[in-house]
Every structure is written in C-alpha cells, then in structure tokens.
Amino acid sequence: MPHHAPSTLPQPKQLSPLGRGLAAAQLAKETLTIVLLGVPLLLDLPLLAVAALPGLVLYLFRWVLVLGRLPRRVAARIWVFTLLDELWGLALYLHVYETPTARQLRYLKWSVGLGLAFTLGALAEIAWQRYGERRRLRRALLRPA
C-alpha cells in the first residue's frame, strides 16, 4: 500500500502591512479617545461602563490585528463591528451630554472622523486585496494551456 504524504491545507489570507498599519492607527486613535472622552464620561456616569464593553472587546481584538495574527476574513468582521461601534459611540455620547463643551465636540469630531476614515479604509483595502486575488485566479484559469 503506497504511503501518501499528508496534503497541506491552504493558509488563511492574512492582513497586508497596510491593513495592520490602519489597525495600529485606529488603536492609537481609540487610546486617545478613551483618555480624552471615555474616562471623563465614565467618571461622570459610571453606569455607562456596560455600554463601553463592546468597544473594549474590539480594542483588544485590534491589538491582535496589529500583530497580524488573525485571518483577513475575521479582520473584515472586526472592521464591520468597528464601524457600528463608531456610530454607536457617537450616538451614545451625543445622547448622554445634552450640552457638550466645544472642546468635547472637537475631540468627538476628530475621533469619529478618523475612526470612520480608518475603518472604511481598512474595509476597502481588504476588498481590494480580495478583488486582486480573484482577478489573478481568473486570469490563471482562463490562460491558454
């Protein structure tokens, strides 16, 4: 009976250096947001800590993204949840503070603007990578023998 070498499974696609860079930029932005907006808000209203838990989980996942340890498919899901979390954080902050200061509004504007830019950029980069891979595969399959 012939001995067959075990077949190797294909490795999941990983994030590109640009994708990891966008994750690092989002992580830095979120660290500043936590310090400048989150901590003062939680000191005023500690019961809102529960509403911040999804963002904290995403924050921890982003560390793993920066290290490049998650497959691209999982990263795309994390970025979609990040998009929802950015919008949730904006709605929550504006709902809690009836009259935010000009400084708070400026921090919020920059935080949400940068967060949306990084998130949409990361999602677009993942989509572009996938498109390029499919295009190369299609070309290889349709190439005359």
Evaluate if residue 10 carries a pLDDT over 80.
no
Residue 1 lies in a domain: no
Residue 5 lies in a domain: no
Query: pLDDT tens-digit profile of 85-143?
Result: 999 988 888 888 778 889 888 999 999 999 999 999 999 999 999 999 889 888 888 88
For the entire predicted model, the pTM comes to: 0.84
Q: How many domains, the chain?
A: 1
Write a three-state SS string for 70-139.
Answer: CEHHHHHHHHHHHHHHHHHHHHHHHHHCCCCCHHHHHHHHHHHHHHHHHHHHHHHHHHHHHHHHHHHHHH
Query: pLDDT tens-digit profile of 24-67?
Result: 999 999 999 999 988 988 898 888 889 889 999 999 999 999 99
Residue 112 lies in a domain: yes
Per-residue pLDDT at 2: 59
| Token pair of 23 as six digits | 């994750």
